[in-house]
Amino acid sequence: MKNRIEQKFDLLKNDKKAAFVAYVCGGDPTIDKSLEILLSIDKAGADIIEIGIPFSDPLADGVVNQMAASRALNAGTTVPHIIDLIKSFRKHSQTPLVIFTYLNPIYNYGYERFHQDASIAGADGILTLDLPPSEESINEELCHAKGLLPIRIIAPTTPKARISQIAESGLGFIYYVSREGVTGKQTNLAEGIQEQILSIKKLTDLPIVVGFGISSPEQSKDVASMSDGVVVGSAIVDFISQNQNQANLNELVHDFVKPLADASKSD
């Protein structure tokens, strides 16, 4: 039986639509509000939701996502809280969930145990930012983890030979980082996205989703037109930050995300 991520991309392919993927940091600004935010994003039209595990040293993230991780940690969020958050979400929705993390938190939890517990809770995939597939494959203790599809990252600077190696070890989809540097909103899309996607597609049949810097409905539409999916993260996280004390935060998040999701499906 196919994983929820694979099923979702099959449905989207049949409809000739791109996936809208939304990222938020789990536990930001609190665990209770985080669940409400996830459900609001789901209702707004997200096809896949990425849940970040807050980490004290998120080196691949820009200031917006760093501050989100800090808020979540200050609110007492732990790895078990994220697993419980996934369990709570699954009581309401079957939208695919991808865990977005660094190695340290899940290694400390127990690498194999984390994969088992998160999978049982209802997560579908995992993207570990600082774990190269080549390192994973030569560490015996990391090879036994099952249950979550390994989502791989490819950057503009990744050599073709390495793209092929990365793609072979991945499942679900490929996350193409559209620009060098850390995460964050950008006023313009990076150049050469379409050419890079076409180049990657020659080496893998996995869907290609594009992230890093996409922050407006117009950008969402443009990227969706040339890829299998678009990821919006920092723009949503920044919106949460600006409105975290509002009583109707979940409604505000829904209204912010919906135009981004709708744009990814427009012709």
Among 183, 257, 184, 255, which Cα is nearest to 220's? 257
Residue 50 is among the residues annotated as catalytic for this protein: yes
Q: How many helices (H) and strands (E) does the chain have?
A: 13, 9
Question: Which residue in the list 28, 61, 117, 228 is annotated as catalytic?
Answer: 61
Question: Which residue in the list 6, 50, 117, 228 is annotated as catalytic?
Answer: 50
Residue 255 is among the residues annotated as catalytic for this protein: no
State how far the Cα of 127 lies from the Cα of 181, in Å rounded to an integer: 18
State how far the Cα of 196 lies from the Cα of 206, in Å rounded to an integer: 14
Among 260, 206, 236, which Cα is nearest to 9's? 206
State how far the Cα of 58 lies from the Cα of 35, in Å rounded to an integer: 22
Among 98, 131, 59, 122, which Cα is nearest to 231's? 98
Provide the annotated active-site residues: 50, 61
